[in-house]
Amino acid sequence: PPLPPTPALSERSYNPRPHVRDSFDPASRLMKLAIICGAGNVSGKEIMTLELATGLRERNHDIRVVASKWGDGKFCERLHQLDLPHSRMRLGFISATLSLSCLWMTFDQLMHVPKLWFDFRRFLRRESPQQIIHTNWHHLLVLWPFLNPKRDWFWLHDTIPDKPQYRRVFRELDQRLKGWIPVSNAVRESLLQIGIPEEHIHVIHNGLEDPVKSKLNEAVADGPVRIGIAGQISPWKGHRELFAAFGILAGERPDVELHVFGTGPEPFQEELRQTAERTGFSDRVRWHGFVKERSKIYSKIDICVVPSLLPDSLPTTAIEAAFFSLPVVATCSGGLPEIVVDGETGFIVEIGSPQLLSVALRKLAMEPPLRLAMGATARDVALRKFAKKRFIDDFETLLSVPGVE
């Protein structure tokens, strides 16, 4: 049966791919594509860029990636490991925020604009991509003179604030782009709110190669119930609220553990450790740091929590957990309700409510059969809705249609 619509969306009718053929014709000519992903590090957006690039290459399209010379270099390492042709340029950060760090990064980017334009012009002449997919609006701004409404797309991974400055900039960008590719209905709605025409928007949900390499263990494991959170450790990701919720649950049940995967600012991590010490459950928190292999994350937990406080466009963590047959407890933030089917594959709770978060976690912790049933349903939904094949099919179909507006 079809999944229920996201509650936060408007009641307007929705066609996820307007003016696009139902399927891609393999006999049509292959495409030469460029993806501009100036990543400072590797997170959800960069993971999806790698999935898109490898998926299109497997179908014999000619793919080139442009990455940034800034950052930790991990993204370029992965491009090299996957043997994806790529160029590195001075793609950085432009901001209207008046903080010292933002002003410095903006100044540094502006200083390198002449060299960036020279390198990008040479790239266009050398590679002659038929279509270009951009993943970051900061880079759209610095590459503004090269944008072509017959060639350039913006693959949008973030919801856009409904503020006057964004309205002005994005409406101008709309005149210089072939179209917008938001990753969720929540992102689509934010574009509509700032005045982007509906016919220019083509939603394509992210998709992943099935990360499960062997048959999943269907037995209920002995020992404590392991609650896990993965990804960047940051206040807006809801770690404070999760620790507060776990404190409530840990006071009631001695058979629960909290597993934290990822890294973040040390002062904030220390704040979380002090919270655990103060509430008396620090001995039940496991800090794993950054773990690259997804199987080593999701095999160590029984419940995945994604308690985002700000609109999270389509969190990869929630999708990955579903592939590993884990129920997910998430907030009603951004695109999370498009991943988690409330009451079927997990639970959706209000943003910023440790009490409601603890109630959902308690129910899953106390009922192992419910955890297994929800996890199995979550995997079925993920295989149907977030498969890499569907993801690549949608991109291939959209990009192959001439004159899409």
Q: What is the C-alpha to C-alpha distance for residues 26 and 127, in angstroms, rounded to an integer?
A: 23
Q: Mean pLDDT for the chain?
A: 88
What pLDDT, on the 0 to 100 scale, is given for residue 404?
47
Q: Coil, strand, or helix at residue 256?
A: strand
Between CA 217 and CA 345 the distance in angstroms is 18
Rounded mean pLDDT, 135-158:
94
- Say which residues have a Cβ less than 8 Å from residue 114's Cβ, sequence separation at least 6: none
Identify whether the C-beta of residue 140 lies closer than 8 Å to the C-beta of residue 173: yes
Out of 72-76, 93-97, 173-177, pick the least confident.
Answer: 93-97
Reported pTM: 0.86
Give me the percent of the chain exceeding a pLDDT of 90. Answer: 75
**pLDDT tens column, 223-242:** 899 999 999 999 999 999 99
pLDDT digits (tens, 9 = 90+) for 353-398: 999 999 999 999 999 999 999 999 999 999 999 999 999 999 999 9
Across 97-112, average pLDDT:
76
Residue 402: predicted pLDDT: 61
Is it the case that residue 38 has pLDDT exceeding 50?
yes
- Six-digit token string for 80: 């090299």
Q: Between the CA atoms of 52, 54, 59 and 63, what dihedral angle is there, to the nearest 10 degrees?
A: 80
User: Is the pLDDT reported for residue 116 higher than 50?
Assistant: yes
List of long-range contacts for 10-19, beta carbons under 8 Å, 24+ apart: 10/189, 10/192, 12/192, 12/198, 14/185, 14/188, 16/202, 16/203, 16/204, 17/202, 17/203, 17/204, 17/394, 17/397, 17/398, 18/198, 18/199, 18/201, 18/202, 19/199, 19/401, 19/404, 19/405
Rounded Cα distance, 115 and 391, in Å? 35
CA distance 397 to 313: 23
pLDDT of the residue at 104: 76
CB atoms within 10 A of CB 193: 15
pLDDT in tens, 73-82: 889 999 999 9
> For the residues 45-67, what does the mean pLDDT come to?
95
346 bridge partner residues: 328, 342
